[in-house]
Amino acid sequence: MNTKILDGPALWPAQAHVPSVLGRQLVIERGEGSYIYTAAGQKLFDGTAGLWHANIGHSHPDLAAAARAQMLKLETYHIFARFVNDQALALADRLAAMSPIADPKLILNSGGSDAIDVACKLARRHWQRAGRTTKSVILSREFAYHGLHAYGTSIAGLEFNREGYGTESLVPETRRVPVDDVDALKAVIAEIGPENIAGIVTEPIQGTGGVNPPPPGYLQTVQQLCRDNDILFMLDEVITGFGRTGSMFAAERYGLQPDLITFAKGVTSGYAPLGGVIVAPHVWQPFYVDDDATPVFRHGATYAGHATSCAVAMANLDILERHGLVSRTAELETLLRAQLDQLSAKHSSVVDVRVGGFLGGVSLSDDVRAESVADKLIDIGFISRPLRGNTLQISPPFITTDGELVRFVDAISQVLSEEESA
Ligand code: PMP
């Protein structure tokens, strides 16, 4: 084994095998609409919307104006105890009005991993409060990604995200179930006992796990199993929330009524860090009982309900609404499906294509590596990303034109042709 220590910029690269990225990092310094520009001057089509977040595209002046105006008025003020700020109140009202859960309360924090930690804590706290103190196990699915804070790490369905942190001891009483398999889920519930299970967390369409839309009826069956067994049904809409699947939330697309919904990314299109949890009445009401003995939900952070992030979210929602971007993703889904079907028909190296909303995955055969396809796409001006299962991620901004999407899939086709003949 080589023992040479590498050096490089002071910034430790995130989620990276350091020796593989040092010296070849792409320094992004500008963005405009669906494109980003490197410090070296290369223009790249953002075919992943960054980490599935830049839904309205990059560098929109309205969001910059909203942030500037809010910072000049009040950057933020915390929302602990009697304090609150007007922006957090206004955003929560707006999110409540558009929520698939009727009459919810909103918890606002800084991102998706935060939202997952809060949702899981709240699920356990909910059952404690209800006097059903053994209900603590959190179930999640194989290949799931729920961020990388403590709960997110422990409930991760991608094993490499769990390894090395005390696999069973970081957050105890967590358990993965096989993906898309109702009978296996039933067996796990029976084995652990519903009296010991607090909730199940699931992405409606798995993202980082390879873009895996659910089999027909699967999510509805999981929801019913939750209802039958007093298990909280927690939908992680960090990727799917705010329009990615052709409705504001995937819960609407699949006709679901979760107890908790986590969201982040699309609420601000990434212009400011913000995430949160939408909480159903039967979960929030016990903490709102008009009595001295009512418990406090002990969770919060300095940036919970950050006023500037909330102001930016409002401007982002205005743009989604004003430009009809949610219905536009439904059109883009149809085009993406047609394009990927053609790609699949044309290339022997494409073993599977999956589409759920404006969200696509292209799985490749073993002889063509998604990593190397993604690298070659960058060379010709397009960003995709390798995901689990030798899969390419396709999730451009909602403002993508038909022509841009066709050119993106053509570029993938060009690289695949080169790789197949190599
Ligand atoms: N849940 C899902 C489904 C995600 O895709 C992500 C991030 N990709 C997270 C949670 C974590 O969000 P964040 O990175 O904002 O903490």
Nearest CA to ligand 1 atom 13: 112
Q: Which pLDDT value is given to residue 422? A: 82
Q: How far apart are CA 342 and CA 351, in angstroms?
A: 13
Are 152 and 119 within 8 A, CB to CB? Answer: no
Residues with CB under 6 A from ligand 1: 51, 111-113, 116, 145-147, 203, 207-208, 236, 238-239, 264, 275
Domain closes at, from 307, 322, 337: 322
Backbone angles phi, psi at 45, to 5 degrees: -75, 125
**pLDDT at 167 > cutoff 90:** no
> Is residue 202 a part of any domain in this protein?
yes
Rounded to the nearest whole angstrom, what is the distance from the C-alpha of residue 356 to the centroid of ligand 1? 18
> Is residue 11 a part of any domain in this protein?
no
Average pLDDT, the chain: 97
**pLDDT at 298 > cutoff 80:** yes
Backbone angles phi, psi at 304, to 5 degrees: -60, 125
CATH number at residue 204: 3.40.640.10
> Is residue 279 a part of any domain in this protein?
yes
Q: What is the ipTM of this complex?
A: 0.99
170 & 312 share domain: yes
Q: Which pLDDT value is given to residue 168? A: 77
> Is residue 147 a part of any domain in this protein?
yes
Longest Cα–Cα distance of the chain, Å, equals: 73
Question: Closest Cα partner for 156 from 213, 107, 123, 117?
Answer: 117
Rounded to the nearest whole angstrom, what is the distance from the C-alpha of residue 15 to the centroid of ligand 1? 13
pTM for this structure? 0.98
CATH number at residue 388: 3.90.1150.10
Q: pLDDT tens digits, residue range 77-115?
A: 999 999 999 999 999 999 999 999 999 999 999 999 999
Q: Which pLDDT value is given to residue 83? A: 98
Ligand 1 atom showing the smallest separation from residue 112 Cα: 12
Ligand 1 atom showing the smallest separation from residue 51 Cα: 8
Domain closes at, from 322, 344, 362: 322
Rounded to the nearest whole angstrom, what is the distance from the C-alpha of residue 409 to the centroid of ligand 1? 26
305 & 377 share domain: no
Ligand 1 atom showing the smallest separation from residue 264 Cα: 15
Are 119 and 260 within 8 A, CB to CB? Answer: yes
Question: Quick one: tokens of 338?
Answer: 């047609």
Question: Quick one: tokens of 85?
Answer: 């700020």
Rounded to the nearest whole angstrom, what is the distance from the C-alpha of residue 143 to the centroid of ligand 1? 13
Domain closes at, from 291, 322, 353: 322
Are 154 and 171 within 8 A, CB to CB? Answer: yes
Ramachandran category for residue 284: left, alpha or beta (phi over 0 → left; psi -120 to 50 → alpha): alpha
304 & 382 share domain: no
pLDDT, mean of residues 325-335? 98
358 & 308 share domain: no
Q: With b meaning 16 or more CB within 10 Å and e meaning fewer, what string describes 151-164? A: bbbbbbbbeebbee
> Is residue 173 a part of any domain in this protein?
yes
Q: pLDDT tens digits, residue range 273-292?
A: 999 999 999 999 999 999 99
Rounded to the nearest whole angstrom, what is the distance from the C-alpha of residue 344 to the centroid of ligand 1? 29
Rounded to the nearest whole angstrom, what is the distance from the C-alpha of residue 205 to the centroid of ligand 1? 13
275 & 332 share domain: no
- What is the count of structural domains for the chain? 2
194 & 250 share domain: yes
Backbone angles phi, psi at 177, to 5 degrees: -120, 155
Nearest CA to ligand 1 atom 6: 147
Are 49 and 55 within 8 A, CB to CB? Answer: yes
316 & 328 share domain: no
Which structural domain range is residue 194 located in? 63-322
Q: How far apart are CA 377 and CA 26, in angstroms?
A: 13
